[in-house]
Amino acid sequence: MSRSFDDDFVWGSATAAYQIEGAAAEGGRTPSIWDTFSHTPGKTLNGDTGDVAVDHYHRWRDDVALMGELGLGAYRFSISWSRVQPGGSGPLNPEGVRFYSDLLDALIAANITPVVTLY
């Protein structure tokens, strides 16, 4: 049996900010509900948190390069509300906005379509 995809099928990957970014207390980011949950004793296996995760916040350039090497056509990621608007409302955090703006620019330059959600 042969299986194939249509020519317009797009291969991509997806991540969630809390599970990949790390840098939980850097760049103006404040704790999210996931930080509060994972720092509550007994809520996660081994007390694991997303404080460092895979450190995408610092390694995003390498991550985008790897996506390009894999031939990905799209990347679905979430924007961390607590990174771009740490107070929950009010002024935006310029460092958080710059992080995502730089990521978007790099994805577009690598011909990877960004697909963004806000969490």
pLDDT in tens, the chain (119 residues): 678 899 999 999 999 999 999 999 999 999 999 999 999 999 999 999 999 999 999 999 999 999 999 999 999 999 999 999 999 999 999 999 999 999 999 999 999 999 999 98
| Whole-number pLDDT of residue 8 | 93
**CA 62/CA 100 separation, integer angstroms:** 15
Buried b (16+ CB within 10 A) or exposed e, 37-57: ebeeeeeeeeeebbeebeebb
Beta strands in the chain (DSSP E): 12-14, 74-79, 113-118
Residue 98 in 3-state DSSP?
helix
Does the model's pTM come out above 0.95?
no
pLDDT score at 119: 85
Q: Under 8 Å CB-to-CB from 46, ≥6 apart: which residues?
A: none
